[in-house]
A = this chain, B = another copy of it.
């Protein structure tokens, strides 16, 4: 196979426009010191020849790579692809990230890294060295991994941590989990529920804590107790079954449950069905994530929509930035919103305690 060369290079454009390479380069990069008519002439040649700069060459000469790297946990991702995870992170990352990158002439690449591996840094280092991205986006649990944050900070690569409020380097963007959980709880309180359970996420995720916080605050503000009403899961279906059983398979069961992921909400539905509890009459369920699946359950789930795509889009914009000004160190919150469906209703029997 013949060695493949770039069809039309900057050289061809320069020749066609009758200018130097440098001038063409300036036009491409919106550089200063180019007269409008010159710029126009060069642009005409670019359009005429259909010239597109090779990102490889651009990277080589020490400039930007026009590449944003989205880092996801490998196991989490594969679980997601197999349909066994709650959040569709990859889809949403691409939806928010890729389209926004495209707007700015950037590309987005997804790479998988094992967070818990003991050679994360090695693996990451290799990926960075090979790809040399202009920015990196970290999703949970990577966004809470100090090894990863530390490495990127040391390498001076701009990066965004999604869904983590943990202090440390890098841009932080969250989906305001405390507020979202509060919102879900208040919705149920408004319907008249007083025993509202929470299926929280695992401790490794700081967002789990924030959701507990939001739920607790809402309950306390209504003068209600929270003891024994919170169980933990790992966002997966199986763990949801166990947590839901603990909350439901007893006399003083809850009349409503806020689940921290769609899969755990699905599991809650399953347990309710096993126990002969009707949803929403005997049990109201609010889910987190609002992935496509919750529209097709029985009944369709009221859910907190996590604006993952918007958040990633924000991150990309800040990472790319028109100029390379320093990134905000304060966390940025993107508000979630509730999507009402038919899994929530007033409790059948008002609890009298």
Q: Which residue of B has the minimal Cβ distance to A134?
A: B4
Contact among B94, B132, B297 with A296 in the assembled complex (CB-CB below 8 Å): B297
Q: Which of A49-57, A161-169, A209-217, A219-227 contacts B (4 or more CB under 8 A)?
A: A49-57
Asked if A130 is at the interface (CB within 8 A of a chain B CB), the reply is yes
Interface residues of A in 62-95 (CB under 8 A from B): 62, 65, 78, 80-84, 88, 90-92, 94-95
Residues on B with C-beta less than 8 A from A98 are 110, 112
B5, A62: Cβ atoms under 8 Å? Answer: yes
Asked if A129 is at the interface (CB within 8 A of a chain B CB), the reply is yes
- Min Cβ gap A113→B in Å is 11
Counting chain B CB atoms within 10 Å of each CB, which of A4, A88, A92 scores highest?
Answer: A4
B83, A92: Cβ atoms under 8 Å? Answer: no
Known: A2-B156, A7-B129, A91-B91. A83 touches B291 (CB 8 A): yes
B293, A130: Cβ atoms under 8 Å? Answer: no
A57, B60: Cβ atoms under 8 Å? Answer: yes
Interface residues of A in 1-56 (CB under 8 A from B): 1-8, 50-56
Residues on B with C-beta less than 8 A from A55 are 56, 130-131
Asked if A315 is at the interface (CB within 8 A of a chain B CB), the reply is no
Asked if A298 is at the interface (CB within 8 A of a chain B CB), the reply is yes
Asked if A277 is at the interface (CB within 8 A of a chain B CB), the reply is no
Residues on B with C-beta less than 8 A from A99 are 78
Q: Which residue of B has the minimal Cβ distance to A9?
A: B129
Q: In the assembly, what is the distance between CA of A330 and CA of B130, in Å?
A: 35
Residues on B with C-beta less than 8 A from A125 are 50, 52
A81, B95: Cβ atoms under 8 Å? Answer: yes
- Min Cβ gap A222→B in Å is 32
Residues on B with C-beta less than 8 A from A57 are 56, 60
Interface residues of A in 257-304 (CB under 8 A from B): 266, 291-293, 295-298
- Min Cβ gap A285→B in Å is 13
Counting chain B CB atoms within 10 Å of each CB, which of A126, A129, A297 scores highest?
Answer: A129
Q: Mark A93-130, 1 if CB is under 8 A from B, else 0.
A: 01100110010000101111000000000100110011
Residues on B with C-beta less than 8 A from A298 are 298
Residues on B with C-beta less than 8 A from A130 are 52-55, 107
A81, B94: Cβ atoms under 8 Å? Answer: yes
Q: In the assembly, what is the distance between CA of A127 and CA of B40, in Å?
A: 23
B92, A54: Cβ atoms under 8 Å? Answer: no
Q: Which residue of B has the minimal Cβ distance to A92?
A: B81
A60, B52: Cβ atoms under 8 Å? Answer: no
Asked if A250 is at the interface (CB within 8 A of a chain B CB), the reply is no
Q: Which residue of B has the minimal Cβ distance to A262?
A: B296
Asked if A59 is at the interface (CB within 8 A of a chain B CB), the reply is yes
Residues on B with C-beta less than 8 A from A59 are 54, 56
18 pairs of residues in contact across A and B, judged by CB atoms under 8 Å = A4-B156, A6-B129, A6-B132, A50-B129, A52-B130, A54-B59, A56-B65, A78-B99, A80-B91, A81-B91, A81-B94, A81-B309, A82-B95, A83-B291, A83-B295, A94-B110, A107-B109, A292-B293
